[in-house]
Homo-oligomer: A and B are copies of this chain.
Amino acid sequence: MDLGVEGRRAILLASSRGLGRACAESIAREGAHVVVNGRTEADVHAAVAAIESAHGVVATAVVGDSTTTAIHDALLDACPEPDIVLLNGEGPPPTPFGQIDEDQWQAAVTQQLLGPLTFLQRVLPGMRERRWGRIVAVSSAMVKSPNPLMSLSHGTRLGLAGVLKGLSKQAVADNVTINQLLPERFDTDRQRQMAELVMTLRDISYEEARAEQEASIKAGRLGRADEFGDTFAFLCSDQAGYLSGQSIQLDGGSYEGLF
């Protein structure tokens, strides 16, 4: 299927590894030029090299924390007129509600809410003027099923969800779509680290910890990062211009609710 994005320009926040990297791969495979971002220089450069070599597009590295104005500047220097933006970033750690302190709240607010929104303030007007844009935010399946250990996550990600939904109602008139992907348990470093943590804490084997992760998903397996990347690519396609304001769960069918 031709997604109609050849030659489009994409900025992908936090895309050197994991789900963000998979999004960069998928959209580059479809012919879009990409700006890859991450905090670890080696990872970013490795991603850029791999993407350029595999897909023959221009890939640009921007190393640094994507919630800061300095990195927003650098990203827009590298790509002043993005057609596609991926809002992504590392999630906060599980923390019991009673133990969350002011600094942790503020860090989560910056990371998951204000960082993405201040970047959006800079790119959305141009997309609307140029009358083509695709914005996709990586949220979490938990925003629709809040977990008491993850207050830092849904306490900020839901705010982002609300702002994006509100903005989507206006932006779609200019062929700028805004959607969210809500992942649950993909086979990335994060789940591997969590399995190692569980292995240590509960004195079980790595294989047992992984088996528990798989059993927690109705599909009986973890998601593959390329499945995530290709869904992102589809949402960025030219033919997805009528699909906006949606929050799509990629969770192996695990969500219990009707809608």
Partner of A241, one of B113, B150, B219, B257: B219
> Is A240 located at the chain interface by the 8 A CB criterion?
yes
Of the stretches A42-50, A59-67, A191-199, A220-228, the one at the interface is A220-228
Give the distance to chain B from A91, nearest Cβ to Cβ, in Å: 14
Q: Are A248 and B251 in contact (CB under 8 A)?
A: no
Which residues of chain A (146-160) have a CB below 8 Å from chain B?
146-151, 154-160
> Is A15 located at the chain interface by the 8 A CB criterion?
no
Copy tally for this chain in the complex stands at 4
Q: Which residues of chain B come closer than 8 Å to A98, judged between CB atoms?
A: 121, 124-125
Q: Interface of chain A, helix or strand or loop or mixed? A: helix
Q: Are B166 and A148 in contact (CB under 8 A)?
A: yes
Q: Which residues of chain B come closer than 8 Å to A68, judged between CB atoms?
A: none
Q: Are B244 and A253 in contact (CB under 8 A)?
A: yes
Give the distance to chain B from A172, nearest Cβ to Cβ, in Å: 3
> Chain A: interface residue count, which band?
35 or more
> Is A245 located at the chain interface by the 8 A CB criterion?
yes
Give the distance to chain B from A103, nearest Cβ to Cβ, in Å: 11
> Is A74 located at the chain interface by the 8 A CB criterion?
no
| Binary flags per residue of A217-242, CB closer than 8 Å to B gives 1, else 0 | 01110011011001101100101111
Minimal Cβ-Cβ distance residue in B for A223: B242
Which residues of chain A (117-150) have a CB below 8 Å from chain B?
117-118, 121, 124-125, 143-150
Q: Apart from A143-B162, A230-B237, what are 15 other A-B pairs with CB-CB below 8 Å?
A: A1-B29, A1-B233, A98-B121, A98-B125, A117-B155, A145-B257, A146-B162, A151-B167, A157-B159, A168-B253, A169-B256, A171-B253, A172-B218, A172-B253, A242-B253
